[in-house]
């Protein structure tokens, strides 16, 4: 084989990406790079569905719980580190597997990021404080004023995306939208993107069951241990932020759990919208036979060789 290939496994949360990634890694005798932006953090295990010890033992994983929530870690940091790791893995493997549901982080590796200017961390800190004091609607309206073009495209209900756009607008004095969709650096490896999907009721049922399992496994205690750090970006995450409101007496526990399920379902819908934009994705149902998936990927690899 004369071309290195990265197999990127995508899809909504709770769909079975980890299981497939491990099967692919074993099939190709290779290793896995995680592109799940919340599984990076060592303090967050249950609420981020980090692979179990058994799963980690089945295939070597990278970028799993390698950072602390108190360490700044951007998608740009991940792009640089992941590309270096992938380059090192390609020295001993023809194929590398990447898995994750964080679309921006997946794209950072497969396509590259837009070139954004340096922004002082103080700006983000101030915006996070504004979010606490004045709420997301205030930031949404500010973004509408500073960059109406991007306001019409972004998921305005995602505070992280809104704050990221605002910090660039404020730090550069230019709309965030003027920095995106620029020509990107071409990768020196091929990418085969595999997507897992299911009917929406199936996805929602799997999500509901996963949340119940997380609670049984101790998510409440894990969130309690992290409550002090709730202002950190890593913890503005579904599964934690809802329980913080329970700890603060705003919600009952049952209501907080219901909100986790609802917000996770919304997140899954956004993930699918993001990943469906890639017209080259090979889509499979979550319960398709593994041999069928492997056969199709093998065919794609053969096509790459003869291109």
Annotated binding site for substrate: 13-18
CA triple 257-269-258, angle to 5 deg: 10
Question: Binding site: residue ranges?
Answer: 11-18
Strand, helix or coil for residue 205: helix
Q: Virtual CA dihedral for 62, 65, 68, 71, nearest 10 degrees? A: 30
Quick one: CA dihedral 169, 111, 195, 236, positive or negative?
Answer: negative
DSSP state of 67: B
Crossing angle for the helix pair 136-146 and 159-172, nearest 10 degrees?
40
Enclosing H/E stretch for 263: helix 253-275
Question: Binding site for ATP: residue ranges?
Answer: 11-18
Residue 172 Rama label (left phi>0; alpha psi -120 to 50; beta):
alpha
């Amino acid at each position: 084989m004369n071309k290195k290939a990265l197999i990127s496994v995508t899809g909504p949360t709770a769909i079975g990406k980890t299981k497939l990634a491990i099967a692919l890694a074993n099939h190709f005798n290779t290793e896995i790079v995680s592109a799940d932006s919340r599984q990076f953090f060592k303090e967050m295990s249950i609420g981020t569905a980090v692979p179990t010890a058994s799963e980690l033992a089945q295939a070597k994983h990278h970028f799993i719980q390698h950072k602390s929530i108190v360490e700044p870690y951007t998608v740009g940091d991940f792009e640089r580190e992941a590309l270096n790791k992938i380059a090192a893995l390609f020295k001993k493997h023809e194929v590398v597997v990447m898995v994750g549901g964080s679309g921006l982080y997946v794209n950072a590796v497969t396509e590259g990021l837009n070139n954004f200017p340096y922004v002082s961390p103080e700006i983000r800190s101030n915006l996070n404080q504004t979010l606490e004091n004045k709420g997301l609607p205030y930031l949404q309206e500010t973004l509408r004023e500073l960059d109406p073009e991007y306001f019409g495209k972004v998921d305005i209900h995602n505070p992280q995306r809104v704050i990221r756009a605002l910090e660039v607008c404020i730090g550069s004095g230019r709309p965030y939208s003027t920095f995106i969709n620029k020509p990107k650096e071409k990768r020196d490896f091929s990418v085969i993107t595999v997507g897992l999907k299911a009917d929406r009721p199936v996805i929602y049922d799997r999500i509901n069951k996963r949340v119940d399992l997380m609670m049984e496994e101790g998510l409440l205690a894990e969130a309690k241990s992290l409550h002090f750090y709730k202002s950190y970006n890593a913890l503005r995450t579904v599964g934690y932020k809802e329980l913080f409101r329970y700890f603060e007496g705003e919600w009952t526990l049952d209501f907080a759990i219901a909100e986790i399920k609802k917000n996770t379902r919304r997140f899954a819908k956004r993930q699918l919208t993001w990943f469906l934009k890639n017209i080259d994705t090979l889509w499979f149902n979550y319960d398709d036979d593994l041999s069928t998936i492997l056969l199709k990927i093998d065919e794609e690899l053969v096509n790459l060789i003869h291109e």
